């Protein structure tokens, strides 16, 4: 039956539910609709529909987006206390499962979804707080991005891989909730207000833009709509009857401008802006109001060269004064290859400083030197010579960052072994000296040597210390590992079986039974069957 204008018709075989929230077609014939609790599928352009999946109340489907005949996503709303959010289907809508755990924010619901290529975006919820999520790999991984200026979001649109539109409602300067459309050209890093109205309690509910740049933004609770002719960069407000109404009050629009902030005003770990420091640094913002998220203002970061104009210069003198020159030297190397540009984050310096303190405690405790002349264990020699081998190779290849990592591993191992043996710690100090020369000189002097450590021959790697003489076998019963046992590698299968069967842990597992079969592969596994 055809009625109304524009050639619209009611399909005789269509579902007769009272409300449909979203539609998603994957080609000219096949598509899906969601009425809340049910999802329906058509393969014949909508002539007939088949029920796919029902959600249990109070959960209901709010938005749908299918990438192909199998893979699809659904935004789900619900009453408080339930598990709304983002759902996935891999079988064309026959079943759905929640993937909220893949998103780093608490999803109260997803009202809008859109995709282009491998990129998928979602927004929600209409009642706030606003949420924006994006995936660049067909929904395998997701991240959330804070969208400023928005109180609640209900729809989204991808124009290209990095340009998106979102719509909903915002709180303006007059503390009124009004419709809003926001646009980003850099995958959500920054946003700007491109359309808003003055009608209180209104929402920009649905977005559409065609291939020529013409688009519509529908407005709920208002007899008007937004129109764009340039892919959403600029919008006009029009009445439903087609007559233009008064232009938007430009004074009510947000003028968004990205500014650089002195890094001294930012928490290096949380990226939270210290508002008091910022106001003191920029007097023109002393009386500014800040739109906070959970009581915090979180800044974005960009990887740029240090520049005074961008207020991102870190003074090495300040770091040396607080942490010492060795810490700065090691941290610079630890960041990565010296010839490559790397993002600077002062928060990481504390980790390097902690490593140097741990290194010092191998040689000294609160009462002074703890060095002994006892013969080290095989494990101590093994840890040292692993480090000599690695550092020697890294110096030849200019891979200083991996050397620092190996130093950290070695110090942790020696600490666990309670190593304070001169035969280990003297060559370790020489190894460290090219990387942290100041602390190395102090250690060398404290070990009773005269002259500079820089004149000492570099330690040589000896492969014999890395030859394994023991194996920690996993002991399994019917294929399930129950405990481990360390045995010499030169034992035969018969000898290993004798030792294992005599072990009290084995007897506890068997409880008087005799295994049907004992499988032993020297150097690899021990498995008792039956």
At what angle are helices 325-334 and 437-446 packed, to 10 degrees?
A: 120
Q: Which pairing describes strands 112-116 and 119-124: parallel, antiparallel, or unpaired?
A: antiparallel
Question: How high is the mean pLDDT of the chain?
Answer: 82
At what angle are helices 349-363 and 316-323 packed, to 10 degrees?
A: 30
Strand ranges across the sheet with 215-220: 203-209, 215-220, 224-228, 236-239
Average pLDDT over residues 453-481: 87
402-456 pLDDT tens trace: 888 899 999 999 999 999 999 999 999 999 999 999 999 999 998 999 899 999 9
Distance linking the first and last C-alpha atoms of the chain: 73
Domains of the chain, each with CATH number or no CATH: 1-146 (2.130.10.10), 150-258 (no CATH), 265-313 (no CATH), 326-465 (1.10.730.10), 469-529 (3.10.20.590)
Structure tokens at 508: 């506890």
State how far the Cα of 189 lies from the Cα of 300, in Å rounded to an integer: 7
Name the pLDDT band for 217 (thresholds 50, 70, 90). very high
**8-12, 259-263, 457-461, 473-477: which range is least confident on average?**
8-12
264-299 pLDDT tens trace: 777 766 778 888 888 888 777 777 777 777 778 888
Contact 149, 171 (CB under 8 A): no
3-state secondary structure of 488: strand
Residues whose CB is less than 8 angstroms from the CB of residue 407 and which lie 6 or more positions away in sequence, other chains included:
355, 359, 387, 391, 431, 432, 435
Name the pLDDT band for 308 (thresholds 50, 70, 90). low
Q: Which pairing describes strands 85-89 and 119-124: parallel, antiparallel, or unpaired?
A: unpaired
Q: Which residue has the higher pLDDT, 230 or 376?
A: 376
**33-42, 195-204, 241-250, 452-461: which range is least confident on average?**
241-250
State how far the Cα of 460 lies from the Cα of 430, in Å rounded to an integer: 11
State how far the Cα of 101 lies from the Cα of 111, in Å rounded to an integer: 18
pLDDT at residue number 333: 85
pLDDT at residue number 247: 41
Q: Which residue has the higher pLDDT, 336 or 158?
A: 158
pLDDT at residue number 80: 52
27-71 pLDDT tens trace: 888 888 887 677 888 888 888 888 876 666 667 788 899 999 889
- Residue 302 main-chain phi, psi, to 5 deg: -125, 140
pLDDT at residue number 309: 66
Average pLDDT over residues 157-184: 84
Is the pLDDT at 249 greater than 50, yes or no?
no
Average pLDDT over residues 87-106: 84
State how far the Cα of 327 lies from the Cα of 330, in Å rounded to an integer: 5
Instruction: Determine if the peptide bond prior to 233 is cis (ω within 30°).
Output: no
Q: Using H for helix, E for strand and C for coil, what is the string for 132-151? A: EEEECCCCCCCEECCCCCCC
Minimal CA–CA distance to 155: which of 146, 167, 145?
167
Is the pLDDT at 255 greater than 70, yes or no?
no
pLDDT at residue number 81: 52
């Amino acid at each position: 039956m055809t009625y109304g204008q524009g050639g619209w018709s009611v399909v005789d075989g269509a579902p007769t539910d009272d409300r449909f929230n979203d539609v998603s077609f994957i080609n000219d014939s096949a598509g899906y609709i969601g009425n809340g609790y049910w999802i329906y599928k058509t393969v014949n352009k909508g002539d007939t529909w088949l029920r796919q999946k029902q959600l249990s109340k109070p959960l209901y489907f709010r938005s749908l987006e299918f990438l192909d005949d199998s893979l699809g996503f659904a935004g789900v709303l619900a009453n408080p206390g339930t598990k709304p959010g983002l759902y996935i289907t891999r079988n064309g809508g026959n079943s759905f499962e929640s993937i909220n755990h893949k998103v780093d924010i608490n999803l109260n619901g997803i009202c809008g979804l859109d995709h282009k290529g491998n990129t998928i975006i979602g927004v929600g919820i209409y009642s706030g707080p606003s949420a924006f999520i994006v995936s660049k790999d067909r929904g395998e991984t997701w991240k959330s991005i804070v969208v400023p200026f928005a109180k609640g979001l209900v729809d989204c649109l991808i124009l290209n891989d990095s340009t998106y539109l979102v719509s909903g409602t915002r709180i303006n300067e007059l503390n009124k909730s009004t419709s809003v459309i926001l646009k980003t050209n850099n995958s959500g890093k920054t946003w700007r207000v491109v359309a808003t109205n003055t009608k209180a309690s209104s929402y920009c509910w649905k977005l559409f833009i065609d291939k020529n740049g013409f688009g519509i933004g529908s407005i709920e609770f208002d007899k008007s709509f937004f129109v764009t002719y340039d892919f959403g960069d600029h919008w006009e407000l029009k009445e439903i009857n087609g007559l233009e109404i008064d232009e938007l009050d430009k004074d009510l629009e947000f003028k968004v401008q990205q500014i650089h902030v002195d890094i001294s005003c930012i928490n290096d770990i949380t990226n939270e802006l210290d508002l008091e420091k910022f106001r003191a640094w920029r007097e023109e913002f002393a009386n500014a109001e800040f739109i906070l998220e959970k009581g915090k203002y979180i800044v974005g970061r960009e990887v740029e060269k240090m520049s005074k104009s961008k207020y991102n210069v870190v003074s090495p003198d300040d770091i040396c004064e607080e942490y010492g020159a060795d810490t700065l030297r090691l941290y610079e190397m630890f960041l990565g290859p010296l010839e490559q540009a790397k993002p600077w984050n002062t928060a990481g310096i504390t980790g390097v400083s902690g490593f140097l303190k741990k290194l010092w405690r191998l040689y000294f405790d609160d009462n002074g030197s703890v060095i002994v002349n006892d013969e080290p264990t095989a494990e101590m020699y093994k840890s040292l010579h692993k480090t000599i081998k690695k550092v020697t190779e890294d110096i030849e290849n200019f891979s200083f960052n991996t050397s620092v990592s190996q130093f950290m591993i070695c110090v942790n191992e020696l600490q666990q072994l309670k190593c304070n043996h001169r035969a280990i710690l003297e060559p370790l100090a020489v190894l460290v000296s090219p990387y942290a020369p100041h602390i190395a000189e102090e250690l060398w002097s404290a070990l009773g040597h005269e002259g500079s450590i820089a004149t000492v021959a570099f330690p040589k790697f000896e492969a014999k210390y890395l030859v394994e003489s023991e194996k920690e076998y996993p002991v399994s019963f019917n294929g399930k590992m129950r405990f481990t046992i360390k045995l010499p590698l030169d034992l035969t299968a018969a000898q290993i079986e004798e030792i294992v069967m005599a072990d009290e842990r084995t007897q506890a597992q068997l409880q008087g039974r005799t295994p049907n079969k004992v499988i032993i592969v020297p150097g690899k596994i021990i498995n008792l069957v039956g």
